[in-house]
Amino acid sequence: MAELANCSRCNAVFVKSFLDICQKCYREEEDAFQIVYQFLRVKKNREATVLEIVEETGVDEMLIIKFVKEKRLTPTEFPSLAYPCKRCGRNLTEGEICKMCSDELHQELARLEEAEKKMSEREESEKQRIYFAINKDKE
């Protein structure tokens, strides 16, 4: 059954299929992609950065980054295409965060898990030292 949704770009109501945007916005994105792709097909523009593409084509930076993330524009074909890491801002060609940030997060998680483990062990040892007296005469 068809589902109604609001377009994530223009907020118009549309019948949702596999896209999260309406047909009008989809056509606009496709037109923008063709503009960017035609620009990058020119040999001298193949090593253009995202900011250079924005300046030359007028296409929104977030839309170009979306094309890279969707792998419609690949760094193997266009080596200077990169977008910032969500944590530190280093240039990436895939994923959301860079390898260094990923490693730091894994180390922080490992330290947190170790601290939680020590805390639970301490609580268990304290429970074993507690003496409970039960008064059987009370009811």
Residue 111 banded pLDDT, cuts 50, 70, 90: very high
Class of residue 123 by CB neighbours under 10 A (exposed 0-12, middle 13-18, buried 19+): exposed
What percent of the chain clears pLDDT 90, i.e. is strictly above it? 39
Q: Is residue 20 part of a domain?
A: no
> For residues 25 and 10, is the Cβ–Cβ distance under 8 A?
yes
Instruction: Tell me how many domains the chain contains.
Output: 2
The model's pTM is 0.67
On whether the CB atoms of residues 12 and 22 are closer than 8 A, the answer is yes
Give tens-digit pLDDT for 9-47.
898 998 888 888 899 999 999 999 999 999 998 989 888
- Specify whether 73 is located in the same domain as 107: no
Print the domain residue range for 34. Answer: 26-97
Q: Does 21 map to a domain?
A: no
Q: Looking at the structure, do residues 43 and 65 belong to the same domain, yes or no? A: yes
The confidence score (pLDDT) of residue 133 equals 66
Based on the domain organization, do 43 and 58 belong to the same domain? yes
